[in-house]
Amino acid sequence: MSRIGKAVINVPSGVSVDISKGNLVTVKGAKGTLSEQVNPDLSVTLEDGVLVVGRPTEQKRHREAHGLYRSLINNMITGVSTGFTKQMELIGVGYRVSNTGNMLELLLGYSHPIYFMLPAEVKLTTKMEKGENPTVILEGADKQLIGQICARIRAYRKPEPYKGKGIKFVGELVRRKAGKTSGKK
C-alpha cells in the first residue's frame, strides 16, 4: 500500500471539509476556499476530524491515484489554514522589481520592462533594499498556482551557470561552471 496514500490527514480547527456527491472535496479556512474533483473510484471519508483516502483495488491506476489525491487534499488543507509562501531573488547588475497591486514590473536587462499580472488569489510583495538582491514574495492558499506563477516568472531569466545571473528561489544553489581558459598551449 502507498505510504503517502495510507497516511491520514488531520483537519485542524477552523477548517471545514465538505465531501459532496461525485467526490468533490471543498475545503474552507481562514485563507480561502479550495476545491478538488477526486477520482470517483477512490473513497474519501471524514470521521472525527480525520480525513482518510481509500482505494478499492491494487490495480496500477488506483495505486497511482491514491497517493496523488491524498497529497492534493493535504495541500489544500495546509493552504487554507496556514498558506504557502515562495520567495524569489533577482541576481544581476541593474535587475529591479516593483509592484502596484498585483501587477509585477521586472527590469531584467532587456530593452523594455516586463509587466506580469498576477491573479487575485495570490498576494504579491516586493523588496528592494540597499546591499541586498531584489526579492519577490508570493503568498497564497493554492500551492499549485503559486508554483506555476513562480515558474512563469523564472522563465523570463533563468539562472545561468557562468555568471550566476537570473531569477532564482531564495536558498537555491546554482551550480557554477568554469568559463573558457585563455592562452595557447
Whole-number Å distance between alpha carbons of 37 and 49: 20
Could you tell me where the DSSP H helices lie in 37-185? 60-81, 143-154
Interval 101-136: pLDDT, tens: 999 999 999 999 999 999 999 999 999 999 999 999
CATH 3.90.930.12 residue ranges of the chain are 3-81, 84-169
Q: Provide the pLDDT for residue 184.
A: 64
CATH superfamily of 3-81: Ribosomal protein L6 (3.90.930.12)
Q: Provide the pLDDT for residue 169.
A: 95
Whole-number Å distance between alpha carbons of 131 and 82: 31
**pTM assigned to the model:** 0.87
Question: CB of 146 within 8 A of CB of 125?
Answer: no
The helix or strand, by DSSP H or E, that contains position 132, with its residue range, turns out to be: none
At residue 185 the predicted structure's pLDDT band, cuts being 50, 70 and 90, is: low
More confident site: 80 or 179: 80
Pick the CATH number of 84-169 from 3.30.710.10, 1.10.3470.10, 3.90.930.12, 3.50.50.60: 3.90.930.12
